[in-house]
Amino acid sequence: MISNDTVLMAHLLRRAGFGASRDELEEYLAMGYEGAVETLLNPSDPDNMPDDLIRRYHVEQSELRDLPGSAAYWMYRMISTSCPMEEKIALFWHSLFATGYVKLNQARALLNQVDMFRRSGLGSFEELLVELSKDPAMIVWLDNNENHGSAINENFGRELLELFSMGIGNYTEDDVKECARAFTGWTLGNAEYMSIRAAKDSIWPYGRIAWHFDYRREDHDDGEKTFLGETGRFNGEEIIAIIVKQEATARFVATRLFQFFGADEVTEAGEAVIEEMMATYFSSGYQIRDMLRTLFHSGFFKSEDARFARVKGPVEMVVGAIRMAGNYQSPSLGIEKVSNTMFFMGQGLLRPPTVDGWHEGAEWIDSGALVERVNFVAKELSDVRSPGVRSIIDRLEANSDQGVLKPSDLADGCLDLLGPIQVSDETRSVLVDYASRHGDLDLNGHQPGDQAEQQVGNMLRLVAATREYQLA
Amino acid sequence: MSTQTKSSGIVLDYVKTIGIVNNGFSGRGFANPYDIAVGGDGRIFVLNRCDPLRAAAIRIGICNLDEDYLGEFGRGYGDGDGQFIWAVAMALDSQGRLHITDEHNHRVTTYDTSGSATGEYLSHWGKAGAGDGELNGPAGIAIDSSDNVFVVDQHNSRVQKFTSEGKFIANWGSFGSGEGQFNLPWGAAVDRNDNVYIADWRNDRIQKFTNDGEFLAAFGSSGEGEGQFQRPTSVAIDPEGFIYVADWGNERVQVLGPDGSFQLILRGEATDSKWAEDYFASNPEEKAERDVSNLLPELPAHLNTPYHVSSQTEPYFWGPVSVSLDGKGRLYVAETNRHRFQVYQKR
Amino acid sequence: MTTTKREKSLIVIQLTGGNDYLNTVVPYSEGRYYDNRSTVSIPQEQVIAIDDRYGFNPSMGPIKALWDEGKVAVINGVGYENPNRSHFRSMDIWHTAEPDTIGKEGWLGRAIRDLDPQGENVLTGINFGRGLPRALGCPGVSVASVGDLETYGLFPDVQDEELRTFTLEAFSRMYGGAAGRDPVMELLGQTGQDALQGADILRTAPAMYSSTVEYAPDALAQNVKSISQVFHAGLGARVLYTQHGPSFDTHAGQLPTHAMLWNEVAGAVGCLMDDMKEHGTQDDATILIFSEFGRRIKDNGSGSDHGSGGVAFLIGGAVNGGMYGEYPSLAEAEQIEGDLRSNNDFRSIYTGILEDWLGLDAAPIVNGQFEKFDIFQS
C-alpha cells in the first residue's frame, strides 16, 4: 500500500517542483511535510549544472544570443537544480510578467530578468515590482524607453496595473496616465542605440550588447500626481508602494499563485484559501514565500480535491520527464531540440506569445500539442538506458516477490514509481491488459536493454501516455 | 593607449580587430570562433565552432592581417570524413598540415594547407576510449619542433603524444589537482625548447612539462587577482619564454614571465573591423546612434562580474577562448562570443 | 483519385529570414541598382528578363516557365507602414495581420475557423514541418503540424510495428469512454481521439497518391511533396503551409546562398505545378510565396542587411499572371531609411486570397478593409 505521506509529498513536489524520482521523494519524506515545505521555500545555494561547464561545450549558451540556446540554458538549470522551487517561481513570474523575445531580440536580457525572478521571486511583492520596473527587458517590451517626461507612453503604466497587479476595474484611466508619468525617465543604457538594434534585430558587428537599467533624471516628470486618491510628487517607487497596499492587488497575487501552485479552477474551497493567502500577504509585508506557505499548509491543498487539479504546462511536462529519467545531467548535444519541443507543445520558454502570457490549464490541450506531449514523455521514460529508468527497474525488482512481477504488479509498480499517479479503474485495466501480453515478468538476472527490461520500458511508455499523466 | 596593466618589461600594443558576425553558411565573418592558427605565409585560419542553429556551417575560415577574406574549408557537420561536431582547437605542423581536434567525434582531423592548398582533407585519426592512444574529448593540441603532436585528452585527464600521422608515442596524467594531474584540461602549447604547457582548466593553473611529460612547474591559482585564473582555456609561449594565457572565466588575457611571474593583463580594446565599417556604411542610421552611445558603461552591482561586464562592454574581450602567436611577435585573441579576434603586437 | 468537384485550397511557402527582393525580381535596367549593389548584384546578362526593365534571379528558371504560361503574379513592393526590421516581429506582423500591437490570432487560423466553423475536419489546415507558425494559430482551431508524413502520429519512435499498433490500441482505449468524467478528462479523451483519427487519415495520403513527378531531396521539396500528397488525397485540406529557411537571412556570402535557395524554391514550385497538371488540379490550388521583409538597397560588401519593401508571388492555374503594383523607386528621395518603400499593404494580398479565392469575408480576418488586386480568374 502506498502511504498517504508519500502521495502528499509527491503532490507537493509536483507543485513546488517538477515532480520527483523515488530517491528524491524519499529525501523529502525524511524531512517531514513541514520540513519539506521550508526547504523548498528557502532555496539557498542550489546545486545545479555549473555555468563554466555549460559554456565550455555550448558556445550558444555562452553567448546567449539566440532563442533556442538561451531557452536550453534555462532548461539545464531546471533539469539539474537541487532547489526546484527557485526555478518554479521564476517560471511563475515569467508566465505572469510575460516578456518575449519576439520584440526584444535580446535573450541575455530575458535571462537576466529570470535571474531577477530567482533572486526576488519569493520575497516582497513590492520589491519585486520595483525590480520589474527597472528591468531592461520589461522596459523595452512595454515601451517604457519611449515614456518621456515631455510625452508619455502609457503602455507599461497600464499593464503594471492591469496585468501585473490589480487587474482591470480597480483604477481609472487617469490613474493609468499618472502611473505612466511616474515612470518617465526609467529607461535602459544607450536606449536609442539598443532600441534600433532590437527593432532590426541587428547583431552586427559583434553580436549583442547586453542591457542595464538607466535612470534619466532630466527625462523624468517630477510634477505632482494624483494616483488612486493619493497626491504627491510620486516617482515609480512611491506608485508601487500605493499599488501593493490595495486589496485588489492582494487578491490578484493570491489568485494567480493559487492557480499556478494550487488548482486551475478556483472552487469555493479554493476561494477560502485565497482569502487566507490575502491575509498573509498583508500580515507578512507582501511576502510571496509566506503566501505560498499558507497555501501549502491549507487543508484544501492537502485534500484530494487539489490533487491532479492542474494540467501540466509544457515546461513542467518536459522538465519533469527528463528529471525522472535522469537525463541531461551533463552538457549534451541536442538539449536545444528539447527546448524546441516545448515550443511545439505551445510553451516556448522566453517567448510567451503576448504580454498576457500563455493560456494555461485546459487550454494547453489541443490535438497537435497532445501528440507532442505524449510522444516526448513516452520516449523519454521508455528508454531503459536512462539512469532514472534503470533505477525504476531496480526498484521494481527489489519490491517484487523474488524478481517476478504479475501484470498487475508491473502496472501498479510503474504507476507508483512515476508518481504515485492515481488513475481511473478503466485506465488501470488497460494498463494491466497491456502488461499481460507477455504474462508474468521475470526480472531475475536482467541485463541492460534485454527483453525483460524492454517490457518495463513499454509499460512506462504507456503510463506516460495516460490521460492522468497529463495532470499535475 | 591601453587597458593593459604592466609590472615589467613586456609591452603589447593593440593593433586591430578582425571579424564580424556571420550567421550564414559561408562568406566573410565568423561564427563563434574557437581557435586560430597563423601560417608562415601570414594566412590566418579561424576555426568556427558554430552553434546548433548553424551547426551545418562548421568550418575553417581563412583571412589575412589586411582583412581580406580568402575563403573557407571543411566538409560540414557530422562524423564523416573531414566533418566536425564539436571542433575545439587547431595546430599547424611544419608541412603546413592543419590538425583539428573534435571533442565529440573523439578524433583529430588533418587538412592540407601547404602552398596554395586551401584546405584539402587528408585524414583523421583517433578513436573513442581510454586505452593508450584512444581519446575521450580531445581538446587542445600543440606540435613540437619534430612535428610530434600533443593532444589534451580531457575526459581521460591526460596528455597524449603522437606522431603527426597519429601514431601513439606516450601519455601522462591522471585526474586530480596534484602535480601532473588534471581536471578537464583544455589548451596546450610548446615552447622553443619543446617543453609542453597545458591549460589545466578546472584547476585554474598552467602546468609545464618536459617533452616527455616530466612535471616542471605549475603557475597560477583560482581567483581574479594578478597571476590568478578562472578557467584558463589556452596558452601560448613566445620565443623569449613569455607565457600568454587566455584567462577565459575572467574575460581577459594574462602574460606571465618565463618563470611564471605576473607581467600584464589585457582586458580588450576592440575597434571596428573593416567588415564592420562596411556594415555601418550601409546602415548609417544605426551607426549614428552608436557613435553617440557609451560603449563603456558603468553597471549596477548585480551585473558587476567579468562575464556580465563583458556582455555589456563591446570593446572588452568576451569569451577569449584562445591565444595564438605568429612568427612576428603578434598575439591573436579569439573571442567566441564576439565573433572576432583582436591582434596585439609585442614591442 | 477523387473526381468530385474540389474546393479551393491555398498553399503557402514562407521564405524565412528576409528574402532579398532586389535580387529576386531584379531591376536590371536601373543604374541605381548596380550603383548600390557593388558586390551583391546579378549581372545584366544573367538576369532572366521578364520585360525590358525587370527579370528573375537566374536560379528561378522553373518560375519563369510558369510566368510564360501566365500563371505567376508578381506583387511588387509589399510591406506595411513603419516597417519593422526584426525577423521575429515582422514575421509576427505578417502572421497576425496586425502591425501595431502584438496580435493574438493568426490570419490563416481565423480563415480555417471560417472555412470549417464547426471544426468538422481536423485536416482543414495543415502545417508541414515541426512547430506551428503563428499564422495558423487561433484558439479553438486545431491544425496538424506534420514533421514527417510517413511517421506522423503517436509513438513514432517505436520501431516495432506490432508493438506500435498494440500501444496505439491501448491508447485508444485509455482515451475512450469519456462520458461522466470531469471536463478536463473529457477534453483529454476527445483530443486524444481526434489526434488518433487525424493521424490515421493522414497516413493514408501517401498510398492514395501516385505521380511521375520526382521532387528533389532537399527539405523544402520534400515538404512540398507531402503537401501534394495530402492535397491530392482529397482529405479536405484547404490551407497547407510550409516554410523554407531561415537561410534567406543573407548578410554574408549572399550570391551563392541566395541562388541555391531560389533553386530549391523554384524547383519545388515547378514540381508541384507539374504534379497538379498531371492530376488535373491546377485550377484548384494557389501558391502564395512571401517573406517577412526585403533587404537593404545598399549591400554591405558581402551580403545585404534587413530592409523593408519585399515581393510576394501568387502562382497557380487560376491566377492571372503578370506584374502587380509598382516596383518601388530606388531613388534616394523615395527610400525609407535606406530601404525600398513599400507601396502595397500585405493585407491587400490576404484580402484578395480570402475573398476571391477562399470565398471568405476578409475584413474581420485581416483587421480592416484593404483594396485588392484582381489576380484571380473569375
- Banded pLDDT at B118 (limits 50, 70, 90): confident
Cα separation, B140 vs B128, in Å, equals 16
Of residues C187, C151, C150, C194, the one with CA closest to residue C172: C194
Q: What is the pTM of this model?
A: 0.92
What are the pLDDT digits (tens) for A55-83? 999 999 999 999 999 999 999 999 999 99
Residues of chain B found within 8 Å of residue A205, distances taken between Cβ atoms: 19-21, 272-273, 275-276, 279-280, 340
- Banded pLDDT at C180 (limits 50, 70, 90): low
CA A316 to chain centroid:
7
Q: How many CB atoms lie within 10 A of CB B238?
A: 17
pLDDT of B330: 98
Residue C144: closest C-alpha in chain A: A368
Chains in contact with chain A (at least 3 beta-carbon pairs closer than 8 A): B, C
Residues of chain C found within 8 Å of residue B23, distances taken between Cβ atoms: 249, 251-252
Q: Could you say which of C144, C189, C194 has the minimum Cβ distance to residue A467?
A: C189
Show which of residues 271-330 on chain C sit within 8 Å of chain A, judged by CB atoms. 305-306
Asked whether the beta carbons of residue C143 and residue A340 sit closer than 8 angstroms, the reply is no
**How far does the CA of residue C293 sit from the closest CA of chain B (Å)?**
16
What is the dihedral sign for C-alpha C136, C141, C145, C150? negative
Q: Could you say which of B26, B282, B285 has the minimum Cβ distance to residue C300?
A: B282
Cα separation, C110 vs B72, in Å, equals 47
Asked whether the beta carbons of residue C185 and residue A467 sit closer than 8 angstroms, the reply is yes
Residue with cell 532586389: C22
Asked whether the beta carbons of residue B22 and residue C299 sit closer than 8 angstroms, the reply is no
Chains in contact with chain C (at least 3 beta-carbon pairs closer than 8 A): A, B
State the cell numbers at B52.
546548433
pLDDT of C198: 87
**How far does the CA of residue A69 sit from the closest CA of chain B (Å)?**
8
- With beta carbons less than 8 A apart as the criterion, state whether A147 and A188 touch: no
Residue A213: closest C-alpha in chain B: B300
pLDDT of A274: 98
Cα separation, A133 vs A179, in Å, equals 12
Residue B211 has pLDDT above 80, yes or no: yes
Asked whether the beta carbons of residue A63 and residue B319 sit closer than 8 angstroms, the reply is yes
State the cell numbers at A294.
499558507
- Banded pLDDT at B310 (limits 50, 70, 90): very high
- Banded pLDDT at C4 (limits 50, 70, 90): very low
Asked whether the beta carbons of residue B49 and residue A59 sit closer than 8 angstroms, the reply is yes
Give the relative orientation of helices B274-282 and B284-291 as an angle to the nearest 10 degrees: 110
Residues of chain A found within 8 Å of residue C144, distances taken between Cβ atoms: 367-368
**How far does the CA of residue B16 sit from the closest CA of chain A (Å)?**
14
Cα separation, B234 vs B142, in Å, equals 11
What are the pLDDT digits (tens) for A367-424? 889 999 999 999 999 999 999 999 999 999 999 999 999 999 999 999 999 999 999 9
Cα separation, A105 vs A87, in Å, equals 23
Beta partners for B46? B36, B61
Burial of A266 (0-12, 13-18, 19+ CB in 10 A): middle
What are the pLDDT digits (tens) for A124-171? 999 999 999 999 999 999 999 999 999 999 999 999 999 999 999 999
pLDDT of B122: 97
Asked whether the beta carbons of residue C88 and residue A355 sit closer than 8 angstroms, the reply is no
Residues of chain C found within 8 Å of residue B279, distances taken between Cβ atoms: 300-301, 305
Average confidence score pLDDT of chain A: 96
Q: Could you say which of B299, B336, B337 has the minimum Cβ distance to residue A212?
A: B299
State the cell numbers at B81.
570524413
Test the A interface: residue of C164, C184, C248 with most A CBs within 10 Å = C184
**How far does the CA of residue B326 sit from the closest CA of chain A (Å)?**
24
Looking at beta carbons, which pairs linking A257-261 to residues 24 or more positions away fall under 8 Å?
A: A257/A92, A257/A288, A257/A291, A257/A292, A257/A295, A258/A295, A259/A360, A259/A361, A260/A92, A260/A95, A260/A360, A261/A15, A261/A16, A261/A92, A261/A292, A261/A295, A261/A296
- With beta carbons less than 8 A apart as the criterion, state whether B197 and B99 touch: no
- Banded pLDDT at C145 (limits 50, 70, 90): confident
Test the A interface: residue of B58, B152, B289 with most A CBs within 10 Å = B289
Interface of B with C (CB under 8 A): 20-29, 69, 275, 278-279, 281-285
Is residue C306 helix, strand or coil? strand
Residues of chain A found within 8 Å of residue C156, distances taken between Cβ atoms: 375
Residue A363: closest C-alpha in chain C: C139
Of residues C286, C277, C284, the one with CA closest to residue C313: C286
Asked whether the beta carbons of residue A60 and residue B52 sit closer than 8 angstroms, the reply is yes
Q: How many CB atoms lie within 10 A of CB A403?
A: 15
Asked whether the beta carbons of residue B294 and residue A52 sit closer than 8 angstroms, the reply is no
Cα separation, A116 vs A89, in Å, equals 11
Phi, psi of A299 (to 5 degrees): -60, -40
Three-state secondary structure of chain B:
CCCCEECCCCCEEEEEEEECECCCCCCCCECCEEEEEECCCCCEEEEECCCHHHHHHCEEEEECCCCCEEEEECCCECCCCCCECCEEEEEECCCCEEEEEECCCCEEEEEECCCCCCCEEEEEECCECCCCCCECCEEEEEECCCCCEEEEEHHHCEEEEECCCCCEEEEECEECCCCCEECCCCCEEECCCCCEEEEEHHHCEEEEECCCCCEEEEECCECCCCCCECCCCEEEECCCCCEEEEEHHHCEEEEECCCCCEEEEECCCCCCCHHHHHHHHHCHHHHHHHHCCCCCCCCCHHHCCHHHHHHHCCCCCCCEEEEEECCCCEEEEEEHHHCEEEEEEEC
CA angle A113, A118, A122 (to 5 degrees): 120
Q: Could you say which of A344, A371, A426 has the minimum Cβ distance to residue C154?
A: A371
Asked whether the beta carbons of residue B52 and residue A196 sit closer than 8 angstroms, the reply is no
Asked whether the beta carbons of residue B27 and residue C247 sit closer than 8 angstroms, the reply is no
Asked whether the beta carbons of residue A375 and residue C155 sit closer than 8 angstroms, the reply is yes
pLDDT of C88: 87
pLDDT of C97: 96
State the cell numbers at A169.
476595474
Cα separation, A3 vs A26, in Å, equals 12
Show which of residues 229-288 on chain B sit within 8 Å of chain A, judged by CB atoms. 231, 233, 249, 270, 272-273, 275-276, 279-280, 283, 285-286
Show which of residues 92-111 on chain A sit within 8 Å of chain C, judged by CB atoms. 101-103, 105
What are the pLDDT digits (tens) for C75-105? 999 999 999 998 988 999 999 999 988 888 9
**How far does the CA of residue C247 sit from the closest CA of chain B (Å)?**
7
Q: Could you say which of A200, A264, A354 has the minimum Cβ distance to residue C104?
A: A354
A59 touches chain B (CB under 8 A): yes
Proportion of chain B above pLDDT 90, given as a percent: 94
- With beta carbons less than 8 A apart as the criterion, state whether B105 and B84 touch: yes
pLDDT of C5: 54
What are the pLDDT digits (tens) for C37-63? 999 999 999 999 999 999 999 999 999
What are the pLDDT digits (tens) for B8-65? 589 999 999 999 999 888 899 999 999 999 999 999 999 999 999 899 999 999 999 9
Cα separation, B316 vs B307, in Å, equals 10
Is residue A84 helix, strand or coil? helix
Residue B1 has pLDDT above 50, yes or no: no
Of residues B199, B160, B162, B161, the one with CA closest to residue B182: B199
Asked whether the beta carbons of residue C303 and residue B282 sit closer than 8 angstroms, the reply is no
Asked whether the beta carbons of residue B282 and residue C254 sit closer than 8 angstroms, the reply is no
CA A412 to chain centroid:
29
- With beta carbons less than 8 A apart as the criterion, state whether C344 and C75 touch: yes
- With beta carbons less than 8 A apart as the criterion, state whether B19 and A206 touch: yes
Residue C2 has pLDDT above 60, yes or no: no
Q: Could you say which of C249, C300, C338 has the minimum Cβ distance to residue B24?
A: C249
Asked whether the beta carbons of residue C252 and residue B284 sit closer than 8 angstroms, the reply is no
Of residues A41, A6, A35, the one with CA closest to residue A22: A6
Cα separation, C102 vs A163, in Å, equals 15
Burial of A373 (0-12, 13-18, 19+ CB in 10 A): buried
Of A96-105, B223-232, C198-207, minimum mean pLDDT range? C198-207
Residues of chain C found within 8 Å of residue A375, distances taken between Cβ atoms: 154-157
